[in-house]
Amino acid sequence: MPTENKTVLKLAKVQDAHLTGKNVLVRVDYNVPLKDGVITDDTRIRETLKTVKLLLEGNCKVVLMAHLGRPKGKPEPKYSLKPVAAHLGKLAGAKVHFATDCVGPEADKVVASAKNGEIVLLENLRYHPEEEKNDEAFAKLLAKHGEFFVQEAFGALHRAHASTAAIAKFLPGAIGFLVQKELEYLDKTMVSPARPFLAIIGGAKVSDKISVLYSLIEKVDTLIIGGGMAYTFLAAQNTNIGNSLLEAEKVEDAKNIILKAHRNNVEMLLPADHRVVTEIKPDARVEVTQAMAVPDGWIGVDVGPRTELLFADKIKAAKTIFWNGPVGIFETPSFASGSITVATAMAQATKGGATTILGGGDTLSVLKTAKVKPENISHCSTGGGASLEFIEGKQLPGLVALSQK
């Protein structure tokens, strides 16, 4: 297990809080993918069970609050947490009451009717615009549901919202087991990684990852860049990218990152070949380039086979690996090979003793596509944005609020 980190030591932990018989309000991240009302990936729910079960064993009344999707401050049936309540009951082995609102008479009634040793799941916090405004009056209404607050929503820690930040003004609080684990792994990776330390950063846009790239250049031995963002870096080196994705306004940033890597003796790898199409559609004819350049009229949608071998070899040789973002448009099977190769190599590296960390978001979905079990990776973060901001060295509002208690 990773060693204790400084950030965690400054925060109270749920296991030390002596909460037997109390009403405990827990912020969880149940922003899970749903298709036709069915949860397609329950990882985020499962990751909270250790904390939920500890509280149930302590005869607590467990009141959970969460958000789902982006309902823009008003109720939308497709963003209801009701399907989550039924699924949670099966996983937790406990009775789950569902409140059709998170504040007000209906919520108060459901919370009051639940018994100790039972769970209440409140309806979507984002049905109220006050949530995202970090409104203190709204946070005070939420706080009425508990005597103690537990922060277990790592994926929301980088948001200064009423249920993550303002809530801490009204209740004593602690972090749950999931948040502890996330912080321990990420802190160890950034402070004292076993070397060689390799980071793989993919995804569509450079603009989403600029700050984390500047930060990682100070820490890693090797940096791999893939996905749509790689084409802005190739363009920065005057390599032809055809019709591939380009953020022209970020070319200078890409040049600066390349220069900084060179000055820091960081090995920086870009795709050496590509899978390309003339139009992005599932049945498009896929060709493989013979070099880093993408011919005019073609679009890069995945790394090529030579790049796959190069990336896999680097991953297997590393002792610490952080991965955030797919290296191709993996949702389309014919554009998924590169991301599958990375996921498979990550699992092999883990088996070989490396510490491997997935930075949440789409990267978790790649595992499913690659048929790699999450337990074959050292740590799969439940929060992509939060993990990136932590690595950048930013203060996470949900932690700052608790640390001030």
List residues with catalytic annotation. 44, 205, 361, 385
C-alpha dihedral sign at 275, 331, 210, 392: negative
* 148-151 and 173-175 strand pairing: parallel
3-state secondary structure (DSSP) of residue 297: coil
Q: Residue 390 CA to chain centroid, in angstroms? A: 11
Distance CA 386, CA 375 (A): 21
Going across the sheet that includes 119-122, the strands are 96-99, 119-122, 61-65, 23-27, 148-151, 173-175
Burial class (CB in 10 A: 0-12, 13-18, 19+), 392: middle
* 287-288 and 34-35 strand pairing: unpaired
Tokens for 396, please give them: 């996470």
Q: CA 193, 203, 324: angle at the middle one, nearest 5?
A: 20
Spell out where 197-315 has E strands. 197-201, 222-225, 267-269, 274-277, 287-288, 299-303
Integer CA distances (angstroms), 401 to 10, 129, 150, 200, in order = 12, 20, 12, 31
Helix H segments across 48-104? 49-57, 82-92
Nearest Cα to Cα of residue 374 among 3, 2, 43: 43
Distance CA 370, CA 87 (A): 25
Burial class (CB in 10 A: 0-12, 13-18, 19+), 363: buried
* 173-175 and 267-269 strand pairing: unpaired
Integer CA distances (angstroms), 122 to 70, 111, 345, in order = 16, 9, 40
Going across the sheet that includes 320-324, the strands are 267-269, 222-225, 197-201, 320-324, 355-358, 379-380
